[in-house]
Amino acid sequence: MVAGTVGRGVVVVSVAATTRGRFPWVPAYAVFEHYLVGLRRTWRAGVFSSFLLPVLTVLGFGLGVGAYIDQGVDGVRYLDWLVPGLIASTALQVTVGDSTWPVFSNFQWVKTYFAQSASPLRVGDILAGHLAFVLFRVLTTIAAFLLVTGLFGALPSPWAVATLPVVALLGLAVAAPTFAYTASVSSDSWLAMLFRFAVIPMTLFAGVFFPVESLPDALRWLAYVTPLWHAVDLCRAATLGVAPQWSIVGHLLYLAAWAVAGWLLALRAFRRKLVV
């Protein structure tokens, strides 16, 4: 395998074809794998918070606040009504968190993207691999959420598992444009702004805690524009086992449009930084 040894160091030009560089079969998967290896070091803290969050939510909001809401919402117990909203909004939080500072760091601090672009990977591979990892994080977090809330009996319908593909689509619809945004800003203070002016208002007004019908007309339409509301409506339909307010296809197409537009914007923003 190895040609021989010179002094202390092994001869590094090996004749074996196994270590000859070539274009990987699924290049984005190699990128995804990189982040998974990194996760091996940090997952413990993550797992703890992914279970703690739904437990606290069920106790605090569902049982605490829910005790004051006697008639529930549309005849549904408040906790059961709230949980699907929290599934979608938790997915949103994880997505935006993982699409901001880590992406910014890969450009500015650790410069991982630049190391990757010196390899055979193309810009699209680098982007797709990182997006796949964000989706992985969203899916594992929501799986934990489903497990805990299911044990608390807050998921009346077995259709609840359908929330997983929904949050994956929401993740893509939000992560792709957020990647584009993060790649375009010059300082990380712009990232905190995204939470203040997009994530928090969305979480408050897109039907997570109360029905959007309670909002004045203008605000209600703002809620409809956000990707979060569409995911909330789908998740609620799934966990309660009822029909959504909008057509399922309409919701899916709307979220897909965000994902496609976001992907194109992100690809352009990444190219601007990596191919200069």
Note the residues at the interface with another protein (CB under 8 A). 1-2, 6, 8-14, 16, 18-25, 27, 30-31, 33-34, 37-38, 41-42, 110-112, 114-122, 274-276
User: For residues 108 and 157, which CB has a smaller minimum distance to another protein in the complex?
Assistant: 108
Which position has the token pair 């990892």?
Answer: 133
Find the shortest distance in angstroms from Cβ 10 to another protein. Answer: 5
In order of 49, 140, 162, 255, the CA distances from 62 in angstroms are: 18, 22, 22, 28
Which position has the token pair 């004051």?
Answer: 68
Find the shortest distance in angstroms from Cβ 17 to another protein. Answer: 9
User: For residues 7 and 75, which CB has a smaller minimum distance to another protein in the complex?
Assistant: 7
Find the shortest distance in angstroms from Cβ 163 to another protein. Answer: 30
User: For residues 45 and 249, which CB has a smaller minimum distance to another protein in the complex?
Assistant: 45
Task: Sort 20 into a burial class: Cβ within 10 Å, 0-12 / 13-18 / 19+.
Answer: exposed
User: For residues 12 and 243, which CB has a smaller minimum distance to another protein in the complex?
Assistant: 12
Contact 99, 191 (CB under 8 A): no
76 DSSP β-pair partners: 73
Find the shortest distance in angstroms from Cβ 117 to another protein. Answer: 5
User: For residues 126 and 135, which CB has a smaller minimum distance to another protein in the complex?
Assistant: 126
Find the shortest distance in angstroms from Cβ 238 to another protein. Answer: 35
Contacts of 50 (CB under 8 A, 6+ apart): 140, 141, 144, 145
